[in-house]
Structure 1
Amino acid sequence: MYTKEEAKEAKIQFWDGFKRYSKEKGRKMTSWVLRGTQIKEVQLKFDLNENGAFVILQFDSKLESKRHSVYERFEKYKPVIMETCGADLKWEKDYFIEGFKEVGMIYYHLKGASIYNKEDWNSYYEFMFAKMTILEEAFLDVKEVVL
């Protein structure tokens, strides 16, 4: 078991390492679309938590009807997105973020990933970088038609 401080330090080290990894691969963290999607309810996100590593296209709104509406606009282009992203991309209209809220998600998931497995961080970086590159490309391909 890790103390709160140890957990915080591990997170800081992991994300600093990912920033360096991305820069070495030619992408500064500020160059990813992430929150700059130009669609209020949509963000691209990275996450590493107790459930694994995630690369996410997230749909978020206080109004469930609005969240579902935006998700469904993307769902219309599922064949196009899947062609770019591959079969391991998951789709969930209603995904509950434990202890937080419900969102819609299109995402990649690497099960078993843990922030405390420092020897595996490089493989997590590879997964996150590769999958975000693909997911961002798919998002940009359909963004204009779902606006």
Structure 2
Amino acid sequence: MYSKDQASQLKQTFWTTFGHYIAPQLSTEGLKVNWINYKTGLKHVFFKMQADSKAAFIAIEITHADPGIQELVFEQFREFKKLLEGQLGEEWDWNLHIHDEYGKVITRISKTLPGVSIFKKEDWPALISFFKPRIIALDEFWTDAQYSFEVFK
């Protein structure tokens, strides 16, 4: 087991490594992007990548405090489900009003990679291979779909 500081350092090292690996990748529009802290331009909509000792996931998270607004944004994403999953090349899990790791009610559209650990360096290639094409596909999707979400700005 790792101490809290060691675990934090190892996570930071992974995300730094991933950041360096994906940094040369330009956005769909040909711009430099901070892939780890991807900006959607919508205050309560995030593209999130997370890994722990058991699994990894990548997600679109809708975190507005009002569950009704979350549902409206979620329904707007549903309108684009075929486009999104076409860009991704796979189906994702669609979860309206779930609890995040802090107990906050959020809405999440996600894909999980089970059986990997951010604490095992031998799993890092699998994690990078999981995250990279999906965050790039999310960027491609968002380039096409973002204007339909302007009402939520």
Q: TM-score, normalised by structure 2?
A: 0.83
String of CA shifts for 1:47-101, please: whole Å, max 9, x gaps: 1124511111111111111111111111112122122223332211123213331
Equivalent residue for 1:10? 10
Equivalent residue for 1:101? 104
Equivalent residue for 1:63? 66
Say yes or no: does 1:74 pair with 2:63.
no
String of CA shifts for 1:27-62, please: whole Å, max 9, x gaps: 798443955212222111111124511111111111
Query: How many Å apart are 1:114 and its aligned residue?
Result: 1.0
Q: CA RMSD in A?
A: 2.3
SS at match of 2:117: coil
String of CA shifts for 1:110-145, please: whole Å, max 9, x gaps: 111211111110221121011111122112221112
Given candidates 25, 44, 55, the residue that maps to 2:47 is 44
**Is this contact kept in 2: 1:84–1:138, CA < 8 A?**
yes
Instruction: State the distance in 2 between where 1:18 and 1:79 align.
Output: 29
Q: Which moved more, 1:84-93 or 1:62-71?
A: 84-93
Q: Which runs of 5+ in 1 are unaligned?
A: none
Say yes or no: does 1:144 pair with 2:144.
no
Instruction: State the distance in 2 between where 1:59 and 1:85 align.
Output: 19
Q: Which runs of 5+ in 2 are unaligned?
A: none
Query: How many Å apart are 1:14 and its aligned residue?
Result: 0.8
